[in-house]
Amino acid sequence: FIKNVATELFSDGITNWGRIASLLTFGAMVCKHQNDRGLSKCVSLVEEEITSYLLTAQRDWLLKNKAW
């Protein structure tokens, strides 16, 4: 479901550092929630989904903007 949130966040075609930071913050909150519920193994899945999304759907923008 992380990919769906990411896709919706950038659905208007606008990418900026604020939106990327928002996606990372959302991921951190999901991880905290899962960890608090004893599901710490889900943390790596969230990380993988966000990384995959950023390195595919936002790759060109990241390269043009000197990554982070």
For 27-51, the pLDDT digits (tens) are 999 999 999 999 888 889 999 999 9
Confidence (pTM): 0.89
Residue 68 has pLDDT above 70, yes or no: no
Task: For CA atoms 28, 30, 21, 61, give the dihedral sign.
Answer: positive
> In which residue are the tokens 């929630």 written?
33
Domain boundaries, the chain: 2-64
Which CATH architecture group holds 2-64? Orthogonal Bundle (1.10)
Question: Which 3 state secondary structure label does DSSP give 12?
Answer: coil
Alpha-carbon distance of 7 to 32, in angstroms, equals 22
Contact 68, 16 (CB under 8 A): no
